[in-house]
Amino acid sequence: MYKLFITDLDGSIIDESEVISSKNVEAINLLRKNNIEVTIATGRRWSSITKIVEPLNLNIPVIIYNGAGIYDPVKNSYLYLKYLSKKEVAESLTVISEYWDYIKLGVYWDDKLIEDKEALGLLKQNKEGIIKIFIEGEEKFLKELKNKILQDKDCLNVVFSSYKYLEILPKGVSKGKALKELVKFLGIKLEEVIALGDYDNDEEMIKWAGLGITLENASIRLKKVANYIIEASPKESVYYIIQEVLNLKKEVSINDSCYSDH
């Protein structure tokens, strides 16, 4: 018996439009009617997704910053929030500086996203309170950068959240490890969790959940660990899951007009 459905946001239940379709919203409501709680696990900060997830009426904590934080939207407070150490920031900066001409840089600091030269300045100052580092660029450069950061170092988690996005997180931080903390808080077991994701940063979450689901356009790493690979777009993913995976199709009545949602 499943008690929690947790899903990644971008590429899993929304596309570039950043709108959760009425199909997925109604499907999520059906999960709740079947006593399955629903929450989100995203790489973003809470303030940047509040309007996107508003239709879901989330009432239990959400995983943010790719597992560096768990936030309670009801109490408006963090269960926890983890930061990069000064050593981790310094080691990251050394490699990032080598690739400066080939990347765009973002730093999540004090619930703000600081970008480009200002972000580089923040890293050079080695400010307290840096949660994660976000790097955008061509995949070949990001792979090189990742390998250099991890070379002879075990103090960081460096993970792709898209083929063009690389994220540097504190050691031991991931969506999967945050999920372990969340299920403890909720008083349930990992086996009672359904997880949906689409990229490498979702790997542990998908692997450790009782039922791990990904999409047909997901990363190769995720397809290897998922229990199910669904043939659906992000705008129809949860709807597909309740029909084809959980077999709740007799209880759902969503007309075809929902396909045109934006």
Rounded CA gap, 184 and 34, in Å? Answer: 21
pLDDT at 252: 47
Rounded CA gap, 117 and 121, in Å? Answer: 6
Is pLDDT at 215 greater than 60 in this prediction? yes
pLDDT at 1: 87
Residue written as token pair 């909720």: 186
From the number of C-beta atoms within 10 Å of its C-beta (0-12, 13-18, 19+), residue 3 rates as: middle
Rounded CA gap, 172 and 155, in Å? Answer: 8
pLDDT at 238: 98
Residue 251 DSSP SS3: helix
Instruction: Give per-residue pLDDT as tens, 163-191.
Output: 999 999 999 999 999 999 999 999 999 99
Compute the radius of gyration of the chain from its Cα atoms: 18
- Please give the domain boundaries of the chain with CATH numbers for all domains: 4-81+174-260 (3.40.50.1000), 86-170 (3.30.1240.10)
pLDDT at 248: 74
pLDDT-derived band of residue 254, with 50, 70 and 90 as boundaries? very low
pLDDT at 159: 97
pLDDT-derived band of residue 151, with 50, 70 and 90 as boundaries? confident
Q: Average pLDDT for residues 109-122, to the nearest whole number?
A: 94
pLDDT at 165: 98
The two three-digit tokens of residue 23, written as one number: 């199909």
Task: Decide if 108 contacts 89 (C-beta within 8 A).
Answer: no
pLDDT at 214: 98
Give the percent of the chain with pLDDT over 90. 88
Q: Which of 168, 144, 182, 6 is nearest to 85 (CA)?
A: 168
Residue 155 DSSP SS3: coil
What rounded mean pLDDT belongs to the chain?
Answer: 93
Say what the pTM is: 0.92
Is pLDDT at 251 greater than 80 in this prediction? no
Burial 123-136 (b: 16+ CB within 10 A, else e): beeebeebbbbbbe
